[in-house]
Structure 1
Amino acid sequence: MIDWENLRYLLAVAHTGSLSGAARHLGVDHATVSRRLAGLEEQVEVRLLERLPRACRLTPIGQRVVELAQGMEESAYAIERLIDASRSPLSGTVTLSAPPVLVANFLAGRLASFRQQNPAVRISVSSETRKVSLARREADVILRLSRPEEPSSVVRKIGRMPFGLYASRQYIHLHHPPAWEFITYNEGFADVPRRQWLARFQGERASACEINDVNGHLTAAQAGAGVAGLPVFIGDTDARLQRVAPDAEPFSCDIWIAVHRDLRRTPPVRAVMDFIAKIVADHPGLESLPNKRV
């Protein structure tokens, strides 16, 4: 019988494209991944991977093995979700994946309140924008600024995050709009709506720098680098910043929450989702939507 753990390592390499990526994904060292894969190939007596200098490529038989192993993985996770959903006590750990801008400026300061209300539930937060899989248990709940598309998930839009234009009160060109320079995103963000909104207002004016993270835009604006598009709930409460061009085209990002359909009624997961929906609804600078449970 093939060792499932070794197949799990093969799947991680297939998902990430490299041994180092698989090691980070699984929380082990590079040598462990290499040893597991070597053990698998020795057991089946066929090469499953081509090891390149910076990546790994599946052989044709390796690709087929991965396709079959994915079905095994989905079944294993389905068993985990079934067991978790059968537990009624309001206790356990819930993993939450959320964008850095919401983790740093919104969620982190409210975790103590959640803990007081739910002392037996622990939230494990990953601050990230990458696509994560609820089906593979990479998270129990995800919070995103664009609609999650995984077929097995249940998704709800819980609010909107309005943006405005801000600059440091000490910005040298604060009162001379033709000279404004902008803190922007690089071409990899060409299809991101907030970049397009900022570019329309910027027009032909210069970019001071490119940073692909809202928290980076905030820090650069505070330092006087230029004009940044920031969430209103951050910019309006920062005494170092001044809102500029209040008549600019309005823009908002939708806030989405998603959970795997098998876990939506699990008490700890339910508690986390309800708490997030409530603090979004109550927070100044965020626009809430009519309450409708996931």
Structure 2
Amino acid sequence: MFDWENLRHFLAVGRAGTLSGAARSLRVDHATVSRRLAALEDELKVALVERLPRACRLTPAGIQVFEQAKAMEAAAFAVERHTRASQAPLSGKVTLSAPPVLVTHFLATRLADFQTAYPGIQLSITAEARQVSLTRREADVALRLVRPKESSNVIRRIGRMPFALYASRRYSALSEPSRWTFIAYDEQFADMPQQQWLLNIAGQRPVSCELSDISSHLIAARAGAGVAGLPCFLGDTDKQLVRVDDQGAPFARDIWLVTHRDLRRSETVRAVMDYLSEAFRSDTAFGEAG
């Protein structure tokens, strides 16, 4: 019988297309993935992957094993979810994936309150810009800024996150919109809605710097590096910033709460989801959930 861990590493290689990509997804080093892959090929007595200079390509046998392995993985996760859903109520660990800005500036400030309300639940929060797979149990619950499309998930819209333009009160061009420069995202986030909104407002005016996350935009704006498009719950409460108006179109991101349908009856998961729903609904900065 082959080692399941070896098969799990092979699945990661098949999904990522490279050993380094698989290593990042599994949070291990490149050598571990290579060793696990070689061990699986030795166990099965067949070549599964063709190692190319910059990629890994599945062999015909590898494609067949990959499809079968995905089905095995799905079945294993289904068993785990069903077991999790039948656990004793209000006791255990719940993993939550959420956008970094919400983790750092909203959720982290409410952990003490959550612990008081649910002392038996250990909430494990990961700040991730990517959309994790709930089917593969990468998280029990997720907050997303894009409406989830997976048919296996249960979703709920719990609020809206409005954006506006902000600059330091000491920004040298504060009273001269024609001289504004803008703080934007780098090119990997070119398709992000708030990036497109900001660049549309900027028009022909220059981008002074590019940063990859909202927390960095906040700090750069405080330092007077330019005008930033920030969530209003951040900008409006920062005494070093002032909201500026450039007659741009209003912009907001919906906030979606999602879990796998197999976990919707888990008392611990429901407790976390209900707490999050109420936290956003009771904060006027996030508007009406609808």
- TM-score range, shorter-chain basis? over 0.9
Instruction: Indicate the residue corresponding to 1:251 in structure 2.
Output: 251
**Residue 267 of structure 1: aligned partner:** 267
The separation in 2 between residues aligned to 1:145 and 1:83, in whole angstroms, is 29
Matching residue of 2:103:
103
Report the equivalent of 2:63.
Answer: 63
In 2, Cα distance between equivalents of 1:179 and 1:92: 54
- Find out whether 1:48 has 2:37 as its counterpart: no
Q: Which amino acid aligns with 1:3?
A: D
Letter in structure 2 aligned against 1:73: E
Equivalence map 1:104-253=2 (5 Å): 104-245=104-245, 247-253=247-253
Q: Secondary structure, in 3 states, of the residue corresponding to 1:262?
A: helix
What SS does the corresponding residue of 1:259 show, helix, strand or coil? strand
Structure 1 segments of 4 or more deviating over 6 A?
none
- State the TM-score, normalized to the length of structure 2: 0.94
Partners of 2:31 and 2:184 in 1: how far apart?
40
CA distance in 1, matches of 2:167, 2:156: 33
User: What SS class does the counterpart of residue 123 from structure 1 fall into?
Assistant: strand
Per-residue CA deviations over 1:61-93 (Å, capped at 9, x if unaligned) read 212211111000000000001111111321111
Q: Deviation of residue 53 (structure 1)?
A: 4.2
- Distance in 2 (alpha carbons) for counterparts of 1:119 and 1:18: 42
Gaps of 5+ in 1: none
Measure, in 1, the Cα distance between the counterparts of 2:20 and 2:127. 20
Is 281-290 or 111-120 further displaced after alignment? Answer: 281-290
Alpha-carbon distance in structure 1 between the residues aligned to 2:246 and 2:271: 38
SS at match of 1:137: coil
SS in 1 for 2:262: coil
With the length of structure 1 as denominator, give the TM-score of the two structures: 0.93
- The whole-number CA distance in structure 1 between the counterparts of 2:29 and 2:191 is 36
Deviation for aligned residue 1:51: 2.5
Instruction: Give the letter aligned to residue 38 of structure 2.
Output: A
The aligned amino acid for 1:251 is: F
Q: CA deviation at 1:45?
A: 1.4
Shift of 1:247: 4.4
Q: Which amino acid aligns with 1:152?
A: S
Per-residue CA deviations over 1:142-175 (Å, capped at 9, x if unaligned) read 1011112222111111110011100001111011
Distance in 1, Cα, partners of 2:130 & 2:158: 20
The one-letter code of the counterpart of 1:137 is R
Counterpart in the other structure of 1:73: 73
Cα RMSD for the two superposed structures = 1.6
**Secondary structure of the corresponding residue to residue 105 of structure 1:** helix
State the Cα deviation string for residues 258-292 of structure 1 (Å, max 9, x = none).
100000120111111111111101123111324xx
